[in-house]
Amino acid sequence: MRRIMFTYFTSDPSSRALCSPMLLSTFSHFSLFHMAANMYVLWSFSSSIVSLLGCEQFMAVYLSAGVISTFVSYVAKMATGRFEPSLGASGAIMTVLAAVCTKMPEAKLAIIFLPMFTFTAGSALKAIIAFDTAGLALGWRLFDHAAHLGGALFGMWYVTYGHELIWKNREPLVKAWHEMRTKNTGKGGGKSN
């Protein structure tokens, strides 16, 4: 299992499997604490993002964010020559967090163990981006800072422009797909309209 995990569930641009880990690494975690922290943040922002985007669009954005944040991580690793494997849902979760904070910048947030300190979502997003930018520039190895930044920038871009450019323009494609399926169902002896 360990070899399969390293090959397909960790992202590394020097690996022989490049594409499938871009998505699969989003579903693997280093430890139970790593998974719990990511799932807590996702749970905290999930109702807001689903109310903003709807279930289907949220799922599409989340899976796309996993691939895009991993791609940004690949680019950073190639540029710096640091070929360390990374894994986890953090890049995709940063997309969710950044999307919510961009759409609702005045929302009040708090840290779980320090609920007496509150701050706005916009301020939190700026602090997270500053932290990950510093981490990337200074070569910190605490997190995959490039994946975090890629996820955050994708989330900000998507709720600002992507929804209009991508999601709304898919309607003709979805309509054509449904019409094609309806015609094929009619020819195959099923119900026809």
Largest CA distance in the chain: 65
Nearest to 22 by CA among 89, 78, 84: 89
Q: Residue 146 is which amino acid?
A: A
Catalytic, out of 148, 163, 178, 192:
148
Q: Are 28 and 5 in contact (CB under 8 A)?
A: yes
Cα atoms found within 13 Å of the Cα of residue 78, Cβ hemisphere only: 11
* DSSP bridge pairs for 86: 11
Distance (Å, whole) CA 61 – CA 143: 22
Cβ–Cβ < 8 Å for 90, 40? no
Q: Catalytic residue at 90?
A: yes
Query: Residue 13 in 3-state DSSP?
Result: coil
Give yes or no: 148 in active site. yes
Marked catalytic residue, from 25, 90, 123, 178? 90
For 87, list phi and psi in degrees, rounded to 5: -160, 165
Instruction: Tell me the residue type at 80.
Output: T
By annotation, the residues acting in catalysis are 90, 148
